[in-house]
Amino acid sequence: MDAKELMKIARKARQNAYAPYSHFAVGAALLAESGRVYTGCNIENASYGLTCCAERNAIFAAVGAGERRFKMLAVAADSPEPVAPCGACRQVIAEFGIPIVVMGNLKEAIKTMSAEELLPYGFGQESMNNKGEK
């Protein structure tokens, strides 16, 4: 599975977006080390702040299915430039150390970055003096 194939799956997942407020549909596809691919789309709410982005929905679906290790995440929207994950999603991407994030739109444009490039000097488990333990 290469970046282009994963992007195709993200574009398809975008078709399920529930975005009656922003009308901005986003799709994501996450390749786990197991070889399985998990998808997500943005799901909005009349209480706007409850909206969850495509990327987090894909990551949470995968983690909820028992996955912990990932190879690559693709995200797609109908944007002029490849769509960049929001700050909250970058934090979640960093939590699971997803090494490659492929951003795209509905055209051929594709941009690739690492989790570290997307969220430099981020907060993580190692930032806590108890390393996340009690």
Catalytic residues: 55
Closest separation in Å from C-beta 42 to ligand THU: 3
Task: Name the residue among 22, 15, 24, 14 with its Cα closest to residue 55.
Answer: 14
Rounded distance, CA 81 to CA 78, Å?
A: 9
Residues in CB range of 123: below 8 A, 6 or more apart: 91
Closest separation in Å from C-beta 127 to ligand THU: 24
| CB nearer ligand THU, residue 7 or residue 89 | 89
What residues are paired with 31 via a beta bridge? 37, 72
Closest separation in Å from C-beta 125 to ligand THU: 24
Rounded distance, CA 99 to CA 69, Å?
A: 10
| CB nearer ligand THU, residue 67 or residue 85 | 85
* Contact footprint for ligand THU (CB under 6 A): 19, 22, 24, 26, 42, 44, 51, 53-55, 75, 83, 85-86, 89
| CB nearer ligand THU, residue 50 or residue 120 | 50
